[in-house]
Every structure is written in C-alpha cells, then in structure tokens.
Amino acid sequence: MFKKLLSFWIFIVTPGLALDDHRVIVKIDKEVIIAPSGVFNRAMMSMVRSSDGTIFLNGQTKLPKLYMSQDQGESWIPVIVRLDGPPLEQVTQGLGVSRKGRLFLIHQTSGNHLPNTSSLYGQDLFVSYSDDFGKTWITSSTEFGKFSPGIPNMKFHEDGNRTFVEQPNGHLMFTTTIVPAKDYAEKYPPVKPVQPPNYEYGGQEGDLFSDVVFRSTDYGATWGDPSQVYPDLNPHESSLSIDPYDANHLLIITRIQRMGRANENAEKMMMKTGNPRHYWKQAGLFESRDGGRTFNWPNGGFTSWYGHRATICWAQNNVVVIVHNAGYKDPRRLVRLSLDGGETWVNGTKRGTALMRLSKKFKLAREIGFCSPTIEMSPDHFLTAVYRYDNKKTSKLLRGVVSGIFWHIERPQHE
C-alpha cells in the first residue's frame, strides 16, 4: 500500500504487491480538455504539480498565459502572466515549481526569427518566478549570454520542455538548448563531411552546441554555472528528472541528432539503431551521477528512428515514465516504463530488460503533436497533457486542442 506524508508518497510493502514482477500494463482512465483550439501556437508544453496539489500547464504562446487546475486536473482556468521585467513581447517556454510552491517560468523575446521560417531562436532567455500562484512575477536579472560555455555568439532554441529539478538543499537546475547565431554560423560554416565537435552547426574547435544545464543556488533569483549534457550527439529538446532518493542522480531524455561520421561503420550503426540511414535522429537517455556535471549514455538508451520529442517523469516510488513520438510517419505517442529507477525496463517479461530500446512501447495517444512532461498524481497514477498538431490527420474539432490524459499502471498480483 501507499501512504501520503505531506507532499511525498511512502511505499509500504504489503502482501499481494508484486514488487519484483515487471509484467505491468498501462490503462487509460479518461481524457479532459485543458485548453481549446487557438490558445497555444505550437505547444512544446511544460506541466508541473505543486506540493498543495495545484497543477500548472504552460505552452508556447506570445500572450503569456498559463492554465491552472485546483481540482486534480478535472477542470482548468487560464491565468494571464504579467511580467515585471522585459518590456518586449515574450514567448513562454518552460515551467517549474519548487517544494515551497515557487513557480518558475522561462520565456524569451518574440520576433527574432530565422529567414523563411516561423521558428523563434531568441538571443535572450529569462526566468521569472511567482510566489502567489502566478498573479505577480519577478524576472531574474541573469544575462544568459554571459554563461554560454565557449560560445561567443549563440541563440536559445525554442523547442523543448525545459524542465526544472530541485535538490533537497533547494538548489535548482533546468536545461535549455544553445545553437549558433546566424552571423556566427555564416562565419564558421560546417565542413563536409561533417566533423566533430560541431556537426551540422559549424563553428570552431571547442564550440560545442548542445543542451546546457543551468543552476541556481538562491531559489531562482540568479542562474548560471552551466554544464553540457552530451555534446557528442548534439542533444536538444531535453526533459530532466531527478532520483527521489539521490540528489546527485539525474536522468535526462533528449533528442539526439547528428550525421554519421566517416570513421564509423555505417552498416553496424544502422543495425544497432534500426535507423534506415547513417544518422542519429531519435531520443537518447543519459544519466548523471554527479548532479548534472557530466552525463553518460547507458547501453541501449535510445528509441527508434524519429522517436524523439520525449519527456521523462521520475515518480516517488521509483517508477520512470518516458513518453515519446512513435517514429517516422507514425503520429502516436508511446510510453516506456521502468519500475526501478531506470535499472531495468518493462518488456513483457517478469524480469524486464536492461536496454530501454528493447522495452515495451505502450500506446498513450494517437494523432498527437506534442506531449508535456508527465506528472505523478498518486502512486502508479499519472497525467500527461497532449497537443494535437494542426494537420490533415487530426480531426478538425481537435486541432490545436490541449487535452489531459489520465492513465495508470496495473501491476500483477503474486502468482
């Protein structure tokens, strides 16, 4: 059984619970509407649950707006964000919440677009925080341009959930993606065949463009002290999680994307990954044992071709939930599960598999554009927000709608 102590779930061993049996199944309970069509422009979303049970959801929108639920996700109301700092129009991005209930919002200036695209790559990045459920906000004074490790001219990639984690001492971390600014990329174009360390992005030796972990030791008032995730595979669009029992143990699921190299055996690489080309383009799972200073790549820690745009949740009972794209021309969203903090993964057998890439893929939803990080509602019960992308495969009634999918894990009884 489980008992709740303050905001934490305590797992108590009870006869009948199959703690060592990985043959679980996923059950969808219901779906609710969070935001109607037209509210969010693209919706690489973030969703968090405060210690008092309040849930907040944030998507990519120029008019800063959150959605809030105070009844366990059953109903939602909009919360208009009024920032005190940046005078220009802001696009909201990531969202976080501390154990004390401080809400964090990542945003950047709108209007800085690449030629012939609608994609935003801002050269500024802000973190604002609120202590009154989003009614008022204070913007951090951090100038993120000063913290770019070895990169003199960069932009912050728009996509990604930009998830926050908090250690027991109150120290905070979140990730964001750095790419080179246009004039820098033109000055240092990529060479062909593509060579490390810059791959498609160009640059000079030492300019490693990838996701970066930023830190705060003053409850979010300032941010800095950057470290990179795993530049070798150009990670971006990351989702970060923290071990509920080890503050220095992190898991991050991130999009990995780079062309194969001349010194790699293309056939062996494609056989290993299942990719139809000599190219990394999927999600990779990385692990840190030193608080995000360095990351390693576990054996088999990746999804299939185009199985990117992934999120991760590390629940209080050590269950790890990963949601990601199904793959090339497959609109579904899939769930992968670990019941023991990523040591093994559910694959339909009692003992599971050590390789995430061989784990079972449970269907969460179909015809979906993006998913938020999953949040834990109670032991083995979860909520994931989904955004249906505006394309021909999606019903006209559902295009652009943000829904909340409630689902749970069913564990087998002892045989």
pLDDT reading at 180 higher than 80: no
Six token digits for residue 187: 């000055």
> Rounded distance, CA 110 to CA 311, Å?
25
Which of 8-17, 71-80, 249-258 shows the lowest mean pLDDT across its residues? 8-17
pLDDT bucket at 114, cuts 50 / 70 / 90: very low
Domains in the chain and their CATH numbers? 21-410 (2.120.10.10)
> Rounded distance, CA 296 to CA 74, Å?
39
Q: What is the pLDDT of residue 227?
A: 87
Task: Name the one residue in this structure whose structure tokens are 């057998």.
Answer: 349
> Rounded distance, CA 294 to CA 286, Å?
10
| Separation of first and last alpha carbons in the chain | 18
The answer to whether 324 and 308 are in contact (CB under 8 A) is: yes
pLDDT bucket at 228, cuts 50 / 70 / 90: confident
pLDDT reading at 118 higher than 60: no
Q: What is the pLDDT of residue 14?
A: 42
pLDDT bucket at 233, cuts 50 / 70 / 90: confident
pLDDT bucket at 109, cuts 50 / 70 / 90: confident
Which amino acid is it at 206? G
Across 109-125, average pLDDT: 56
Summarised one tens digit per residue, pLDDT across range 349-389 is 999 999 999 999 999 998 788 899 999 999 999 999 999 87
pLDDT reading at 2 higher than 50: no
Q: What is the pLDDT of residue 121?
A: 54
Summarised one tens digit per residue, pLDDT across range 281-310 is 999 999 999 999 999 999 899 999 999 999
**Mean pLDDT, the chain, as a whole number?**
83
**pLDDT: is 394 or 96 the higher one?**
96
pLDDT reading at 73 higher than 90: yes
pLDDT reading at 222 higher than 60: yes
**pLDDT: is 105 or 396 the higher one?**
105
Q: What is the pLDDT of residue 122?
A: 60
pLDDT reading at 411 higher than 50: yes
pTM of the entire predicted model: 0.88
Give the C-alpha distances (Å, rounded to integers) separating 314 from 82, 115, 177, 239. 31, 39, 22, 11
The answer to whether 199 and 192 are in contact (CB under 8 A) is: no
Q: What is the pLDDT of residue 120?
A: 47
**pLDDT: is 41 or 33 the higher one?**
33
> Rounded distance, CA 47 to CA 163, Å?
9
Number of other CB atoms surrounding residue 325 within 10 Å = 24
pLDDT bucket at 5, cuts 50 / 70 / 90: very low
Q: What is the pLDDT of residue 83?
A: 87
pLDDT bucket at 76, cuts 50 / 70 / 90: very high
Q: What is the pLDDT of residue 297?
A: 93
Phi, psi dihedrals of residue 111, rounded to the nearest 5°: 105, -5
Across 204-228, average pLDDT: 82
Assign 3-class secondary structure to the chain.
CEEEECCEEEECCCCCECCCCCCCEEEEEEEEEEECCCCCCCCCCEEEECCCCCEEEECCCCCCEEEEECCCCCCCEEEECCCCCCCCCEEEEEEEECCCCCEEEEEEECCCECCCCCCEEECCCEEEEECCCCCCCEECCCCHHHHCCCCCCEEEECCCCCCEEECCCCCEEEEEEEEECHHHHHHCCCCCCCCCCCHHHCCCCCCCCCEEEEEECCCCCCCEEEEECCHHHCCEEEEEEEECCEEEEEEEEEEEEEECCCCCCHHHHHHHHCCCCCEEEEEEEEEECCCCCCCECCCCCECCCCCCCCEEEECCCCCEEEEEEEECCEEEEEEEEECCCCCCECCCCCCCECCHHHCCCEEEECCCCEECCCEEEECCEEEEEEECCCCCCCCCCCCCCEEEEEEEEECCECC
The answer to whether 240 and 230 are in contact (CB under 8 A) is: no
pLDDT reading at 100 higher than 90: yes
> Rounded distance, CA 158 to CA 321, Å?
24
**pLDDT: is 128 or 366 the higher one?**
128
Give the C-alpha distances (Å, rounded to integers) separating 52 from 8, 25, 163, 279, 363. 11, 29, 19, 45, 30
